[in-house]
Amino acid sequence: MSRIVISGTGVYTPPFSISNEELVLSFNTFVQKHNNEHRDAIADGSCQALAGSSAEFIERASGIKSRFVIDRLGVLDPERMCPQLPKRTVNEPSIQCEISVAAAQEALQSAGKNPQDIDAVIVACSNMERPYPAMAVEVQEALGISGFAFDMNIACSSATFAIQTAVDSIFRGNARAILMVNPEICSGHLNFRDRDSHFIFGDVCTAMVLEREDYCCKKAVFEIVGTKLATKFSTNIYNGFGFLNRTRPAQDTEKNRLFVQEGRKVFKEVIPLATEVIRNHLAEYNINPTDLKRVWLHQANLNMNQLICKKLLGTEITDDVTPTILDTYANTASAGSIICFHKHHADLQEHDLGVICSFGAGYSVGNIIVRRIAL
């Protein structure tokens, strides 16, 4: 059986960026207005005063300095604090389709492939713009790809879970090459009025071409050595948006329909889970963690990644072994580790080993072992 390889990647980066300082100015303006309007209730204890934020707090808590967004004005408007994305007609490309095509075109060019060379499309991300028709089918149509297409959602692990799904499908002979896309418009599900999370997410789209080695026309690629997935149910990272919200309007608050997390619990529980999955997966292939030349970790929190590196590799985070894009892109859910891979893989030599790992809501962990090879 031919080996399965990653032959191309692409990234669509939105045109707008928001710094911590800009985000904090908007948030603190909202906080001041809220506290002024509820001054009497705060004084008698019937309402709780909101606390302001700071750029220093955000960077210390997360490692984030700025984030890219599709809409900047709506997010920074203290009266709105939400992206303002006009509704498109059913005859226009959806926003997620539009950014998927942009990232996919770069991935296809990188792989030396045309749309007719692709047999399937998987769109995998944290939030879909609509339940149906599938975003993947729209992307398939927009690119002129034959075959089949479907959507996947396992939150921040959507990309790595989709990689295993693509590998399995290629291995079974259902496709020669698959385009995997991750259109993450995280600003749409973020509560910008919540001090503990208003700074976490950014927008982006990533894409990857996976294919059989004997179908590949590129010289330097990455072999998929192995994949491993794990899940453990938890509501410590939660988004209650769904089609049943309208059946209980009095019970479903806007806050529960957006991103909510118990940050300390997530930090405490996900680090050992992710570390164990990576370590056990490497052991299955007799790979020592110190043999890894590159570790492309999920880009959610710098402190979390630092601890995983210490437990796994016994080292601090370094640009050489464990590159970070969190400072400029923020958390982009499933796309984070793929951005990292896209931007930090060209220097690896033949036979160098690496790991692409994601972890997040579910809980979920997806780990992909790759090896640089020359065809």
Give the E-state strand segments of 16-143 in sequence order: 16-19, 66-69, 120-124
Contact 297, 313 (CB under 8 A): no
The C-alpha angle with vertex 102 and arms to 96 and 105, in degrees rounded to 5, equals 130
In whole angstroms, give the CA distance from residue 296 to residue 92. Answer: 36
Q: Give residue for tokens 């939660």.
A: 238
Marked catalytic residue, from 125, 156, 186, 309: 156
Please indicate whether residue 156 is annotated as part of the active site.
Answer: yes
Give the pair of three-digit tokens for residue 343: 């931007």
Distances (CA, A) of 318 to 150, 159, 295, 299, 359: 37, 24, 10, 14, 20
Distances (CA, A) of 241 to 83, 238, 245: 17, 9, 7
In whole angstroms, give the CA distance from residue 260 to residue 126. Answer: 14
Strand 4-12 to 16-19 pairing = unpaired
Nearest to residue 301, comparing CAs of 278, 254, 279, 268?
268
Active site residues: 156
